[in-house]
């Protein structure tokens, strides 16, 4: 499925993306899916998108510029001068050293939203230090809370790069655009993964403040300690996710499993280890999909843990079109859904000269990219 015919709610929004990794291309991908026209400024010679590189999908055009070359920097500045949003992921100070300082860019283009995505933020003792998702979420408390009792484990790079970085950048730049509609002025958005992953932990910090969360892994209801909120291995080696927290769901689950006596003191944490062990033995007697069939139609909050190869064909995902296939590559479809202005995945890239001419970049500059895209 392709949403190429859909305009999306961000139709008309012009975005410049300075090539980076992680949260920057992810944020640009989401903006493109929602209708924005995204021009990616890449290194010279890197102006073709591999269709398997999913977060780089949907760019209107890609142009190769050497940002250490004064003429190319001048061209980049003129392109950015026509944009609504700039997204970049350099370390603090790099944009300034390249001659693309936000103050100068906003002097050219007063309505520009400069979205700066970093690990540590634009200021602070660690702002210039190297890092990755894992080190950023280590400072927020998120990493400490995830994993078995004996050690924290990396939760992929979803908490820092994509949730704490990319999603925070999207909220920030869209908020700045909303404010610009009133003031007419752009601004800098400082989206730090340490800040974003801390923000994602707000609920857990709230539980801790209320005395409902222990600062130790695998001792809490939501971190795998409870017999009613964890995963279980089945006979075929595949897993089920089990999460009947509410009493009515827990009662229905316990009935199916033949452990109705687990109900009255469901939240007695001292009983959780033995009950997890008992349920694990029961789940090992049947294959995963046999259990799925057993729970079918019941409100018990149980679901199969699907491998990536399985997700597209699950009936719910298939009915909603949660996954799409573009150029032979299965990938997540555009989200969220809109009633009047649906977004969609844009396939292929346009000619850079044509795209930039449409932005109002003069023919001389646009012509420099005539062979690209």
Give the torsion through C-alpha atoms of 356, 357, 363, 369, to 10 deg: 30
Binned at pLDDT 50, 70 and 90, residue 49 comes out as: confident
Give the span between the Cα atoms of 30 and 284, in whole angstroms: 41
136 & 76 share domain = yes
Strand partners, 192: 118
Task: Read off the pLDDT of each residue in 232-259 and give the average, rounded to a whole number.
Answer: 97
Q: pLDDT above 90 covers what percent of the chain? A: 90
83 & 194 share domain = yes
| Spatial CA neighbour of 166 closest among 112, 118, 100 | 118
146 & 244 share domain = no
123 & 265 share domain = no
For residue 211, is it within any domain?
no
79-134 pLDDT, tens digit per residue, is 999 999 999 999 999 999 999 999 999 999 999 999 999 999 999 999 999 999 99
For residue 221, is it within any domain?
no
173-198 pLDDT, tens digit per residue, is 999 999 999 999 999 999 999 999 99
210-229 pLDDT, tens digit per residue, is 999 999 999 999 999 999 99
The DSSP line for 47-83 is ----TT-GGGTT-SEEEE--TTSHHHHHHHHHHHTT-
191 & 106 share domain = yes
143-156 pLDDT, tens digit per residue, is 999 999 999 999 99
For residue 9, is it within any domain?
no
pLDDT beyond 90 at 50: no
Last residue of a domain, one of 310, 326, 355: 310
For residue 257, is it within any domain?
yes
Omega prior to 336 cis, within 30 of 0:
yes
Token reading at 45: 């010679």
Length of the chain: 373
pLDDT beyond 70 at 366: no
45 & 156 share domain = yes
23 & 156 share domain = yes
| Spatial CA neighbour of 87 closest among 34, 132, 45, 26 | 26
Please answer whether residues 233 and 247 qualify as being in contact, where contact means their C-beta atoms are separated by less than 8 angstroms.
no
The secondary structure of residue 98, as a DSSP letter, is: T
123 & 86 share domain = yes
Please answer whether residues 304 and 240 qualify as being in contact, where contact means their C-beta atoms are separated by less than 8 angstroms.
yes
76 & 156 share domain = yes
Give the span between the Cα atoms of 44 and 332, in whole angstroms: 29
- Residues catalogued as catalytic: 132, 161
Please answer whether residues 78 and 363 qualify as being in contact, where contact means their C-beta atoms are separated by less than 8 angstroms.
no
For residue 317, is it within any domain?
no
Give the span between the Cα atoms of 179 and 185, in whole angstroms: 8
Q: Distances in Å between the alpha carbon of 322 and those of 63, 156, 290?
A: 31, 21, 25
Last residue of a domain, one of 265, 295, 310: 310
For residue 357, is it within any domain?
yes
For residue 99, is it within any domain?
yes
For residue 373, is it within any domain?
no
| Spatial CA neighbour of 116 closest among 125, 107, 127, 130 | 127
Average pLDDT, the chain: 94
344 & 240 share domain = no
184 & 54 share domain = yes
Indicate the SS3 state at residue 128: coil
Binned at pLDDT 50, 70 and 90, residue 369 comes out as: low
How many CA atoms, within 13 angstroms, populate the side-chain half-sphere of residue 26? 19
Residues whose CB falls within 8 Å of the CB of residue 53, separated by 6 or more in sequence, listed in order? none
pLDDT beyond 80 at 48: no
Determine the distance from the C-alpha atom of residue 7 to the mean position of all C-alpha atoms in its chain, rounded to a whole number: 22
Tokens 């994509």 sit at which residue?
Answer: 162
Sheet holding 302-304, edge to edge: 230-233, 239-242, 302-304
**DSSP H or E segment with residue 202:** helix 202-209
Q: How many CB atoms lie within 10 A of CB 264?
A: 8
Q: Where are the alpha helices (DSSP H) in 212-335?
A: 247-257, 272-283, 288-295, 315-320
Residue 264 has what pLDDT? Answer: 87
Q: What residue numbers bound the domain in which 253 lies?
A: 230-310
Residues whose CB falls within 8 Å of the CB of residue 365, separated by 6 or more in sequence, listed in order? 75, 78, 79, 356
Longest Cα–Cα distance of the chain, Å, equals 78
CATH number at residue 270: 3.30.1540.10
Residues whose CB falls within 8 Å of the CB of residue 352, separated by 6 or more in sequence, listed in order? 39, 47, 61, 62, 63, 366, 369, 370, 372, 373
Please answer whether residues 92 and 22 qualify as being in contact, where contact means their C-beta atoms are separated by less than 8 angstroms.
no
CATH number at residue 350: 3.40.50.10540
The secondary structure of residue 234, as a DSSP letter, is: -
237 & 181 share domain = no
Last residue of a domain, one of 310, 325, 352: 310
Give the span between the Cα atoms of 170 and 196, in whole angstroms: 11
Binned at pLDDT 50, 70 and 90, residue 1 comes out as: very low
Q: How many domains does the chain have?
A: 2
């Amino acid at each position: 499925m392709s949403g190429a015919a859909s305009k999306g709610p961000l139709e008309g929004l012009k975005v410049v993306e300075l090539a980076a990794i992680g949260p920057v291309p992810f944020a640009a991908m989401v903006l493109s899916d929602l209708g924005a026209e995204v021009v990616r400024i890449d290194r010279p010679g890197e102006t073709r998108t591999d269709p398997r590189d999913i977060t780089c999908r949907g760019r209107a055009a890609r142009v190769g510029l050497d940002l250490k070359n004064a003429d190319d920097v001048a061209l980049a500045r003129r392109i950015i001068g026509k944009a609504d949003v700039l997204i970049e992921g350099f370390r603090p100070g790099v944009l300034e050293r390249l001659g693309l300082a936000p103050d100068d860019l906003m002097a050219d283009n007063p309505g520009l939203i400069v979205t700066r995505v970093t690990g540590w933020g634009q200021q602070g003792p660690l702002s210039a230090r190297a890092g990755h998702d894992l080190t950023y979420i280590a400072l927020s408390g998120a990493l400490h809370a995830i994993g078995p009792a004996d050690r924290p484990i990396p939760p992929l790079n979803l908490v820092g790069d994509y949730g704490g970085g990319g999603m925070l950048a999207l909220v920030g730049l869209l908020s700045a655009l909303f404010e610009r509609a009133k003031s007419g002025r752009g601004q800098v958005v400082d989206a730090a993964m340490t800040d974003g992953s801390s923000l994602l932990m707000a609920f857990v910090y709230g539980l801790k403040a209320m005395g409902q969360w222990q600062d130790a892994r695998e001792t809490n209801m939501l971190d795998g300690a409870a017999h009613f909120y964890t995963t279980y291995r089945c006979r075929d080696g595949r897993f089920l996710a089990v999460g009947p927290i509410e009493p009515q769901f827990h009662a229905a689950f316990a009935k199916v499993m033949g452990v109705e006596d687990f109900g009255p003191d469901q939240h007695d944490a001292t009983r959780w280890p033995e009950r997890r062990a008992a349920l694990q033995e029961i789940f090992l007697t049947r294959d995963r999909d046999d259990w799925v069939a057993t729970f079918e139609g019941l409100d018990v909050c149980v679901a199969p843990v699907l491998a990536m190869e399985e997700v597209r064909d699950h009936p719910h995902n298939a009915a909603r079109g949660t996954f799409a296939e573009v150029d032979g590559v299965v990938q997540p479809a555009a989200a969220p859904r809109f009633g009047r202005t649906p977004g969609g995945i844009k396939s292929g890239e346009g000619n850079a000269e044509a795209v930039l001419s449409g932005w109002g970049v003069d023919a001389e500059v646009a012509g420099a990219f005539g062979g690209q895209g």
